[in-house]
Amino acid sequence: MAACANEPTGNEGGSDSDGDEGTADNGGGEGGDLIASMASDIVGLDLHGSNDTYSSNVASNIYETLVYHDAELELQNGLAESYEQIDENTWEFKLREGVTFHDDSEFNADVVKANLDRILDPEIASQRAFLYDMIEEVEVVDTYTVRLITEYPFAPLPAHLAHNGGGMMSADMIERDYEAMENGEEPGSVINEEAIGTGFFKFDSWSPGSEVKLVKNEDYWGEPAKVDSVTFRVVPEDGTRIADLNTGAAHIADPLSPSDVSQIEATDGMHVESTESVAMMYIGFNSQKEPFDDPNVRKALSMAINKQSIIDGIYDGHGLEARSPLAPKVYGYNENIDVIEYDPEEAKSLLEEAGYGEGELTITFNTSDHRERQNIAENVQQALAEIGVTANIEMEEWGSYLESTANGEQEMFVLSWSTVTGDGDYGLFPLFHSSQQGSAGNRTFTEDEELDEILMAARRNEDQEARLDQYIEAQNILADEAIILPLFHEDYLLGVSDSVEGLWQHPTRRLMLQDVTINN
């Protein structure tokens, strides 16, 4: 999220795999230090100050939400024992009693109010505020009862509360963070140093560009973690992450490139974990720039691109061709929506209708410095050449790429988005509603009054069948106008040591570490 829920972030640093000090402690059974090599550093541990995958992955082991999604994206009770919708604009949550934070402060209704008030505070300027900006009031009914009153009926509110941005941070820590702001510090300055939640791991240390370490919460209210600690090491190079796995310097390589799967499978002592995701890789067109303000041009370029060739040739088949922005597990997905089909001859005809003969159109295709995305750009470049379009590839470092696409400097680009709430609202509203242009998600800078009305109506609709029809209608508009070209829903891949048991990866890409053990 930055641009998307599952995007990595820019980073520096490397592996510390030489010598005994850098070797994973395998312990045997419960205990030991679990080491995960990840491609990028975290942005921060303030839940309201970052929206990237790696920050969320670490933070989800420290902080907990009122409700959460299980492996099938069904909502389960978390820090809330129960909840109900009292009227169309009011949701009531009964909170779990006896839960304490890592600083021994109590979890209660006041804490929920402090967290939701903060994420909506304009001074915090949270990238995640859009998840909860429909909440008008957080009412503390009693110590363990809280009511959320919305500006309008908002059916997916519980799903949004399951998002990592709805995690509960210590109210005492939030207060100290505000005090620091009064003294001129940036929002999150205290939180990023303390990171106090209720989760089964506690924050220990963060060495920016190097590693983040968590330790077991011995006083966890539920079933405690099995390992003593988890260390997330920043290892940008794919080959180095695999080498660390092979030497025992790490237990998990996250992510694993599809092109490296065969190497892992052929190596004793390690294996591949694959998870069907709710993420979408897509090609976007900046509708505010010529010639991408013409739907015929967008459709023509889309028709020239063979999605399956990208899945097979670059991702070695580890992905599902996308029909729309929504993956099959997401509410709102439907097999019968309109789809832009691969048709190079029709693409040429549409370009001629738009006034571009063969060889008359030159565009810029922007991409980040990730290996697979560079390969996607080259595949697209070749595909467009076959219909007489010249595509010049411009590559940027990840952080710079996010900034430039948020500012609308791109023409045609490749990004991804993960519908981490499991609800179509999150998969469509941030990406395509005109109010979300820029860093919030709408990097195509789409302005479509009909689409805006449908997306807003769907998020306010309490009738789930009617909402489904509205999302089908919205997805048909996206295809008819060729606002983006959904490419595929990728499989999340991990390289894992055979010594690790109990690990699984959530469809939203989070590493589920509570039940992990290390065995030799």
- 413 in helix, strand or coil? strand
**pLDDT attached to residue 153:** 92
Calpha distance 93→141 (Å, rounded): 10
3-state secondary structure of 59: helix
Residue with tokens 């109590």: 106
Whole-number pLDDT of residue 63: 98
The residue among 201, 169, 202 whose CA lies nearest residue 188 is 169
Percentage of the chain modeled with pLDDT above 70: 94
Phi/psi for 52 (5° steps) reads: -105, 160
- Mean pLDDT calculated for residue range 334-362: 95
pLDDT (0 to 100) of residue 27: 44
3-state secondary structure 270-335: EEEEEEECCEEEEEEECCCCCCCCCHHHHHHHHHCCCHHHHHHHHCCCCEEECCCCCCCCCECCCC
The tens digit of pLDDT for each residue in 462-511 reads 888 999 999 999 999 999 999 999 999 999 999 999 999 999 999 999 99
The amino acid present at 506, given as its one-letter code, is H
pLDDT at residue 13 greater than cutoff 70: no
In the block, tokens 């998002």 appear at 163
Tokens representing 434 are: 């005109």
Residue 152, pLDDT above cutoff 70:
yes
What's the confidence (pLDDT) of residue 514? Answer: 97
- Six-digit token string for 80: 């809330």
Of 321-325, 363-367, 405-409, 461-465, the least confident: 461-465
Across residues 179-203, what is the average pLDDT?
Answer: 97
Inter-residue contact 286 to 297 (CB < 8 Å): no
pLDDT the model gives residue 182:
97
Q: What is the pLDDT of residue 402?
A: 86
- Sort 269 into a burial class: Cβ within 10 Å, 0-12 / 13-18 / 19+: exposed
Number of helices (H), then strands (E), belonging to the chain: the values are 15, 22
pLDDT band at 371 (very low <50, low <70, confident <90, very high): confident
Amino acid occupying residue 498? D
- DSSP string computed for 339-402: -PPP-HHHHHHHHHHTT--TT-EEEEEEEES-HHHHHHHHHHHHHHHTTTEEEEEEEE-HHHHH
**272 φ, ψ (degrees, to nearest 5):** -105, 135
- What residues does 280 pair with on adjacent strands? 417
pLDDT at 383: 98
What value does the mean pLDDT of the chain take?
Answer: 92
Assign residue 339 a region: left if phi > 0, alpha if psi is -120 to 50, beta otherwise?
beta
Q: Nearest to residue 383, comparing CAs of 324, 342, 322?
A: 342
The pLDDT confidence band at residue 399, using thresholds 50, 70 and 90, is confident
Model confidence at 20: pLDDT above 70: no
State phi, psi for 446 to the nearest 5 degrees. Answer: -70, 135
Map tokens 């541990």 to a residue: 45
Q: Assess whether pLDDT exceeds 60 at residue 10.
A: no
Per-residue pLDDT at 21 exceeds 70: no
Summarize the confidence of residues 344-360 as an average pLDDT: 95
pLDDT in the model for residue 127? 82
DSSP sequence for 156-212: THHHHHTSGGGPPPPHHHHHHHHHHHHTTPPTTTTHHHH---SSSEEEEEEETTTEE
* CA dist., res. 303 & res. 288, Å (int): 21
Domains of the chain: residue spans and CATH: 20-61+203-251+499-518 (3.40.190.10), 67-172 (3.90.76.10), 279-491 (3.10.105.10)
Identify the pLDDT of residue 12: 26
pLDDT of residue 29: 63
Going by C-beta distance under 8 Å and a sequence separation of 6 or more, which residues neighbour residue 345? Answer: none
> Which residue(s) pair with 487 in the sheet?
none
CA-closest candidate to residue 8, choices 47, 45, 49, 54: 54
Q: Which residues pair with 255 in a beta bridge?
A: none
Whether 190 shows a pLDDT value over 90: the answer reads yes
DSSP state of 514: T
Q: What percent of the chain stands above pLDDT 90?
A: 87
- pLDDT tens profile 256-277: 999 899 999 999 999 999 999 9
User: Interior CA angle at 71 toward 120 and 53, to 5°?
Assistant: 45
- What is residue 440's predicted lDDT score, i.e. its pLDDT? 82
- Per residue in 43-95, pLDDT tens? 899 999 987 888 999 999 999 999 999 999 999 999 999 999 999 999 999 99
Give pLDDT, residue 53: 83
Asked whether the predicted pLDDT for residue 400 surpasses 90, the reply is no
Q: Give me the mean pLDDT over the 17-32 stretch.
A: 52
Indicate if the pLDDT at residue 28 is higher than 60.
no
CA distances from 474 to 281, 291, 321, 342, 385 (A): 19, 23, 19, 21, 31
Q: How far is CA 458 from CA 141, 425, 461, 514, in A?
A: 29, 8, 5, 36
Residue range 301-320: mean pLDDT, rounded: 96
Do the beta carbons of residue 397 and residue 368 sit within 8 Å?
yes
At residue 8, does pLDDT exceed 70? no
Higher pLDDT, 500 or 130: 500
Of 261, 279, 194, the closest CA to residue 486 belongs to: 279
- Could you tell me if residue 256 is left (phi over 0), alpha (psi between -120 and 50 degrees) or otherwise beta? beta
